[in-house]
């Protein structure tokens, strides 16, 4: 699962940021790292701020090897809403399973 950080700049392609947490070996604190993936969005339904689930597919271009399988939480179109917290949504979906 990741957060859509860029859409509309490329045809049927979005950029998704997938965070992960790692323990620092010396300090002992959790640090948050992220990786950006180019993802195929066939229906062009995603907007900035959406929380999406992605999965592997065949290579569609030089850097695009993932596709959107589900929009977990869509970003509201009304102004004044905050971006959803990824950790809260992960815990909620884990409890539902």
Q: Which residues contact 57 (CB under 8 A, 6 or more apart)?
A: 40, 65, 66, 67
Examine the pLDDT at 55 and tell me if it is beyond 80: yes
Q: What average pLDDT does the segment 12-26 reach?
A: 96
The CATH fold of domain 2-96: OB fold (Dihydrolipoamide Acetyltransferase, E2P) (2.40.50)
| Predicted pLDDT at 88 | 72
Q: What average pLDDT does the segment 45-72 reach?
A: 95
Examine the pLDDT at 17 and tell me if it is beyond 80: yes
What pTM value is reported for the model?
0.76
């Amino acid at each position: 699962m990741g957060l859509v950080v860029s859409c509309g700049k490329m045809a049927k392609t979005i950029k998704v940021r997938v965070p992960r947490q790692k323990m620092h070996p010396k300090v002992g604190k959790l640090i948050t790292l992220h990786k950006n993936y180019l993802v195929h969005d066939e229906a062009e339904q995603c907007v900035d701020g959406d929380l999406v689930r992605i999965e592997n597919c065949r290579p569609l271009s030089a850097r695009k090897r993932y596709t959107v399988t589900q929009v977990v939480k869509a970003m509201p179109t009304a102004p004044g809403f905050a971006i959803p917290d990824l950790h809260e949504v992960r815990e909620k979906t884990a409890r539902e399973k």
